[in-house]
Amino acid sequence: NKGKYMHYMQKEIHEQPESLTTTMRLIRGGACKSKTVLLRGLKDHLKTIRRSRRIVFVGCGTSYNAALASRPIVEELSGVPVTMEVASDLVDRQGPIYREDTAVFVSQSGETADTLQALDYALENGALCVGITNTVGSALARKTHCGVHIKAGCEIGVASTKASNWHFAYTSQIVVMAMLALAVGGDMISNETRREAIIDGLLDLPSKVKAVLKLDEEMKDLAELLISEQSLLVFGRGYNYATALEGALKVKEVALMHSEGILAGEMKHGPQPSNCFSCLSYLFHKHLFCCSKQQSVIQQLQARKGRLIVMCTKGDSASVSVGGSCRVIEVPHVEDCLQPVLNVIPLQLLAYHLTVLRGHNVAQTRNLAKSVTTQ
């Protein structure tokens, strides 16, 4: 039932405060009092994960992006190096996977063929295989040694919308992986302050997501401005590189507009924003915000006369020298590793409104299936 919403995609974007609260119950179960995270599905394997030579994140599409967003905090709290693998590429290359590795498979559906094939490959190579999925009883949940269920919500039939779950799955996946980082990091004294700040940040997320959702009308206005553009480049760095990739993926997938997520540090090494009509730049992370490199990316984009939209945390816009013509979108501030959860939401809204305004079918996007069970 779509209730007051026009489309399931819209409804699911707006339901994220609830889906995150559901996901967060994992930390409420007694865990919150002591400011630790209890992931029952992982507790017997935490020692092995901590002792791994490396953690390898494997996924496709949105799930890959969520893992990428979580990589820095997993590295920071666990001290274990994390590498990223697009599932199909790992299989194509038969990339090295060792018994001493922990391979973490991220899949909303738990049925994506590429991810499952990579899982079989990692199992054959003797790695500890951890699953992060939304779907209890899925092939991924059955085949991995251990894992976490996201509990973001139930799926809706494929015919109704490809969108079901996959918008809020991204935000819930990041939350679960932050919790994974906390669990693997354990109770090291040196991490105590950081750990507590993250847990507080997690508990604050649903209300902050609600605040971001109030940007709906503003994002609709922006979509009207961008409706006939040919391309949208999304720049981000640090924690928000993944946001740039995920935002661009949503615009490509649903609004069928060319879009690319670009690491802001690569700006000088190829991208030619002057050929693009719109550029969206990210400045969320507090210390990235102060970083002169990020400021210089903005200046370069302005010099190339792309239409520039800057997103930053509340109160920070005054200190960004973006010039009068630049649109600034402000989101609430949260602990850096959780900022991607808030930052992706305006882009989800933008993708939704662009889809509607460009006259595409939101419920059944061209060439998309809810889970891709072929290779």
Contacts to ligand BG6 by CB under 6 A: 60-63, 107-109, 112, 115, 166, 253, 368, 371-372
Give bridge partners of residue 233 from the DSSP assignment: 260, 279
Cα separation, 246 vs 351, in Å, equals 11
Minimal distance, residue 106 CB to ligand BG6, in Å: 7
| Residue 348 burial (CB count, 10 A) | 28
Minimal distance, residue 328 CB to ligand BG6, in Å: 29
Minimal distance, residue 310 CB to ligand BG6, in Å: 27
Answer yes or no: are the C-beta atoms of 234 and 367 closer than 8 Å.
no
Instruction: Give the CA angle between residues 235, 237, 243 to the nearest 5°.
Output: 65
Minimal distance, residue 60 CB to ligand BG6, in Å: 4
Minimal distance, residue 87 CB to ligand BG6, in Å: 8
Minimal distance, residue 244 CB to ligand BG6, in Å: 16
Minimal distance, residue 125 CB to ligand BG6, in Å: 21
Between 78 and 109, whose beta carbon lies closer to ligand BG6?
A: 109
Minimal distance, residue 221 CB to ligand BG6, in Å: 26
Between 322 and 362, whose beta carbon lies closer to ligand BG6?
A: 362
Between 58 and 279, whose beta carbon lies closer to ligand BG6?
A: 58
Helices vs. strands in the chain: H and E counts, helices first: 14, 10
Between 109 and 161, whose beta carbon lies closer to ligand BG6?
A: 109
Cα separation, 160 vs 367, in Å, equals 14
Question: In 3-state terms, what secondary structure has residue 49?
Answer: helix
Between 60 and 219, whose beta carbon lies closer to ligand BG6?
A: 60
Sheet bearing 307-313, strands edge to edge: 258-263, 231-236, 278-283, 307-313, 327-331
Minimal distance, residue 375 CB to ligand BG6, in Å: 11
Give the closest residue to 351 by CA, choosing from 360, 342, 341: 360
Answer yes or no: are the C-beta atoms of 74 and 180 closer than 8 Å.
yes
Between 107 and 281, whose beta carbon lies closer to ligand BG6?
A: 107
Q: Which residue has tokens 């390898």?
A: 56
Instruction: Give the CA angle between residues 111, 113, 116 to the nearest 5°.
Output: 75
Cα separation, 192 vs 41, in Å, equals 23
Please, which residues have CB within 8 angstroms of residue 247's CB and are 6 or more apart in sequence? 234, 259, 261, 280, 344, 347, 348, 350, 351
The crossing angle, in degrees rounded to 10, of helices 192-213 and 339-357 is 20
Residue with the shortest CB distance to ligand BG6: 61
